[in-house]
Every structure is written in structure tokens, then in C-alpha cells.
Amino acid sequence: MSSLFLFVLNITLVGLFWGSSVQAENVLVLAALSSPSHKNVFSPIVTGLAEKGHQVTVVTAWKPKSEQKNVRELVVLPGFDYFPNISTMKIRKEGIRGMLSQSPEPFLECCRKIYRNPEFQDLLRQPFDVHSPRPLLFHSEPGESTATVIRPGSHVALWTDEIKANVSVLLMNSHFSINGARPVLPDVIEIGGGHCKPGKPLPKDLEEFVSKGDNGFIFFSLGSIVKPHELSDEVRNAFLNAFGKLKYQVIWKWNGDAMPGLPDNVKLLKWVPQQDVLAHPKIKLFMSHSGLLSVQEAVYHGVPVLSVPIFGDQDLNANVVIQLGFGEFIEILDVTAESLEAKITQMLSNNKYQDRVKELSTVFRDRSRDPVDEAVYWTEYVMRYKGATHLRSASRDLNFFQYHCLDVGAFLVVSIVLVLWLLKTCTVRLIRKCRGKRGDEPTKKTN
């Protein structure tokens, strides 16, 4: 996937500020090319800013579930579909070649539609004081969501070079308990899991279903990208046959039609309150496509994961699940009822997965400040210090040759070559001189 394609996929939040303080600033949020789950990452931050009195305008593809005070949502691409004409299962079969072969044109056309939108153009034309703090920008990348805050200026930054040049703070949707410890600069702040929240009671019918028997239940979801018709009858039947043999209740998030031969212990739902389900005390296992947010939610609520990745960053996240010891992996292209049943039985008969994810959950939750409060604090910090340029590393101002030390490398190479040449020259001359002296010595005559 090209860098341009990845950038088009990004969720972008840009804030516009008129004034020198952080009181009641105006924030513009661009999240037009986003799935509902992507929007979930930044919605808590938007709410947090609104609760602080900031006026927030959100450019989005999804209508809000309810109105919020100080938040205005502008829907420019209603129900945006990332992959309207492709098969995710076909991409799974083709691997990375399938991902790279996808044309960016549908996304670029969406960008053109957004840019031509009169209301969006009106937002871009709003005047800004060049001495005021500059726009704020957040974006999310596949595999690891990030948010960037850019320093003072006078207009909205829409180009990648301008964004890179003006980033003041990077808010990372990551946490060292999952993503590992890394050396980072002061302008990199981890806020992973900010969308995670305690569970609420399940709807009555769902509670009655999961409470049947004493063995607990399994939750199975492939996210919102995979369409029901993409799963072959063979794959679907493998899941159904395996689930039917289990002693557990199974909730399957399925936004298609009813399935023939559905076992009594399996319930199909087009929409599931995922975090409420994961927080339920009777849940035993989360069968997931291993999207980043789902993995974070599983760790937050302390639920083992059986990964069924499809495409994108999901294989990377599945590897993290395995490496950290709180889950296993199954290949959807090769799945059979027998292999799936064996894998589920293996995981649920061994407490090591449950113990490990509970340990990770404790570390993941143990923070000095809530991730959303952390994000809001650093957002206002950049406003307060007009870009907070004191956080920026000097390396950000280096050109390509300087950043990669190519000039230093070239100097060292030339120096080494020069030294070797001098050594060679001196050695050759010394050898010649020694040979010359030997040739000049007189030959002794013998009687």
C-alpha cells in the first residue's frame, strides 16, 4: 500500500484556535474517511474537549447517536464504506500482494468529494490570526493509531509535508503493556485504550442467553469490514459445527441473514455492545479478527483471545496476542470444525491464558491519569504554550542527508579510503626503497 494510500486512510482531526488562552477555543475535527470503530478512538477526546468548554466541529461520515453540548457534527460522506467493491477474503488468500494491488482511486475520489463540499470549503476559508496557536491535527494509522498536534500558524494543514513540519505532540494509541517499551521523546504521549470503558448490564434477552448453563459463553466477531456473503458455506459450516459441539453459549456478531441449521447454543446478532459483553463475568473467550481496538478491549476487560485475522494490521496484532501469551491463532482459510473445536478446548482447559490476560489487564489499567484526560491535557498544553516548540526534537529540522547521517557516512568513507590510500602509497614506496638499497650494495669477491 503506497504512502499516499495510507495517508488517505488516516482519520484526521484539525483544531483551529483564535486566542492566546485555552478557554473556549474552537476545534475542527476531520474524521470523514473513518469507520465507526476508528471514530470511537477520538470520540472520547472530542467529548473531553467539549466538556472543557471548547467548541468542537466534527467532519465525519457517521451521524452522531446523540447530540452533545459544544459539539457540531457535519456528515460529508454518509456511511462511508472503506471497501465497497472488494472481497476481504480474496485479499486474505492473496496476502500482502492483494493489499498492495488495491487501487487508491476510491479513496482519492472521496477526498475530492469532501474537498468540494461547500460547508467544508467554508470551514477552510475561515480567517485565522497568524499570531494565534496553529491548527491541531490527529490521525490514525493502521496497526497503531496516533494523534498529532501541530504548532502555531494561520490555516488548516492538509498536506503531509506541512503536517510533518508542524507536529508538536504525537498522541499514540498504544501502551507499553501491549506494544512493548520503547525510548520516546517528550512529545510522544501514549494514550492507548482511551476508548475502553467499564461494562454495563446486557439487554435482558442477551443476559438470559449467556446465563444459560454454568459453563459461560464465547463471543465471536470479525468486525465491521468483513461482509457475510464473503464467508463460504464451507467456512460458515465449520464454525457452526464446531460451536454446536461446545458446552458453551456462543454469541456471533453476524450482520447477514439467518443461518440454516443454527445450533441452540449459538445466537446471531447484527449489533453487539462489545465492551459490555467483554466485561460480563461469564465470558470465557473472545474470538476476534484482532483489530487493534478489539485487542485493547480484550486486555482491558481481561478476556483471552483466539485470533482469526483477515487483513491489514490484524496479523501483526494476532502475533502480539500470541507473544504476550493471552491467546492463540487460527487460519480462517484452513479452518475445519475439528481444528476449531480442538483450539477452543485447548484454550479453555488451560488457565494460563486467563491468568496472563488478567495480569496484563492490571498493568494496562494502572495509570497516573485516565488516557482521555491525558490526551485533553496535552492538547491544551500545546494551546497554552502556542505550539510547545520546546518539546520538539532538533532532528525534526534536519534534511534527509543530515537525518540519516549520510554526510557523516560519506566523510567517514572518504577518510577511510584516503587513509588506506596513504598507507598503500607509503608501504609501496618503503618497499621500493628497501629493494633499491639492496641492489646498491657491492658484491664481495671470493678468491
pLDDT in tens, 266-310: 999 999 999 999 999 999 999 999 999 999 999 999 999 999 999
Q: Which fold has domain 204-365?
A: Rossmann fold (3.40.50)
Are 58 and 73 in contact by the 8 Å Cβ rule? The answer is yes
The predicted model scores a pTM of 0.82
Residue ranges per domain, the chain?
A: 3-194+370-387, 204-365
Is residue 22 pLDDT above 60, yes or no? Answer: no
pLDDT in tens, 347-383: 999 999 999 999 999 999 999 999 999 999 998 888 8
pLDDT in tens, 220-271: 999 877 777 788 889 999 999 999 999 999 999 998 888 888 999 999 999 9
Is residue 128 pLDDT above 50, yes or no? Answer: no
For residue 144, what pLDDT band results from cuts at 50, 70 and 90? low
Residues 6+ apart with CB under 8 A from 150: 134, 135, 136, 137, 157, 163, 166, 167, 168, 387
For residue 138, what pLDDT band results from cuts at 50, 70 and 90? very low
DSSP assignment of 165-222 equals: HHEEEEEEE--HHHH------TTEEE-TTTT-----PPPHHHHHHHTSSSS-EEEEE-
Report the percent of the chain where pLDDT is more than 70. Answer: 80
